[in-house]
Homo-oligomer: A and B are copies of this chain.
């Protein structure tokens, strides 16, 4: 069963079907967009799977961006208590981040990704040719996560990005392949050590808790996820600097790279009180404490849950007003 959406289907579904040859392939085409990442949409996939009477040896092929992958992966996780699925990511964000690691799920009116499962795909097939049809803005959003890997894990990747960010935006095939390969290798290394996000995996949330406030305050309409993460990384670097963990030059490096990747650097002026409230509602918050991923240097992250509240407020005020 190929699960895809109405944006990707006209571009790649026929090619995928041709590649699958004579196999018995059904399809389920979802309405596109994060607003359909709901339990109701998953319920529709269940109906399609039951309607086609897929057995436990059936496989779901998730063809599309992160939203399709999250929804289809979650449907595969629950259908008959778990059948196999393959990620066929067609956006840079999905190729470098969401397709790898087994996090699947949907949103709830009360919060993003509140309903889901850990369910590893049988395989992730990232065809970089599909990036040729990706809008520039979404390509940049994907680069935010690549920058993230450099920040929290790999100083060489950070150096490499500074030399190659223009080639990436020009969709140089070799540069894209390197960025995707390196990102997946890092994510696999981290998730391989901590699949269920008990500790280490949390470093991959660098920029995400601040970014969550940006996305939530703007109703998930104004910023792509990667754009919000880019703003969040700048804020996390700002706080790391206020706490004396990194110097000003490191913060400026990140901001410069974010800017050159075509990503925003100025957050919406939602006010620090609202931002703090939204950060507290993020599901990564445990028992009231806002755990933050901060930097200790290029390629070195730390999960910090105790810090002077004044420092966080200063960061929020500087960026959110």
Contact of A56 among B43, B78, B286 (CB under 8 A): B286
CA A106 to CA B47, docked complex, whole Å: 14
Is the Cβ of B115 less than 8 Å from the Cβ of A117?
Answer: no
Given contacts A108-B50, A110-B50, contact A118 B81 (CB under 8 A): yes
CA A77 to CA B301, docked complex, whole Å: 30
CA A43 to CA B106, docked complex, whole Å: 12
CB of A285 within 8 Å of the partner chain: yes
Chain B nearest CB, measured from A286 CB (Å): 6
CB of A59 within 8 Å of the partner chain: no
Is the Cβ of A55 less than 8 Å from the Cβ of B115?
Answer: no
Instruction: Name the residue on B nearest A286 (C-beta).
Output: B55
Query: Which A262-289 residues have a C-beta within 8 angstroms of B?
Result: 281, 283, 285-287
Instruction: Name the residue on B nearest A103 (C-beta).
Output: B81
A76-108 CB contact bits vs B (8 Å, 1 = yes)?
011111100000000000000000000111001
Given contacts A39-B39, A79-B115, A81-B103, contact A108 B46 (CB under 8 A): yes
Chain B positions within 8 Å of A109 at CB level = 50
Instruction: Please tell me how many copies of the chain the complex holds.
Output: 2
CB of A122 within 8 Å of the partner chain: no
Is the Cβ of B79 less than 8 Å from the Cβ of A114?
Answer: yes
A45-69 CB contact bits vs B (8 Å, 1 = yes)?
0110011010111000000000000
CA A41 to CA B312, docked complex, whole Å: 40
Chain B positions within 8 Å of A110 at CB level = 47, 50-51, 53
Is the Cβ of B43 less than 8 Å from the Cβ of A39?
Answer: yes
CA A114 to CA B56, docked complex, whole Å: 10
Chain B positions within 8 Å of A115 at CB level = 46, 78-79
CB of A155 within 8 Å of the partner chain: no
Is the Cβ of A114 less than 8 Å from the Cβ of B80?
Answer: yes
Chain B nearest CB, measured from A271 CB (Å): 22
CB of A297 within 8 Å of the partner chain: no
CB of A31 within 8 Å of the partner chain: no
Q: Which 4 A-B pairs have the closest CB atoms?
A: A50-B110, A81-B116, A78-B115, A50-B108
Sample of 12 A–B contacts (CB below 8 Å)? A39-B43, A46-B108, A46-B114, A50-B108, A50-B110, A51-B110, A53-B281, A55-B286, A78-B117, A79-B115, A80-B116, A81-B113
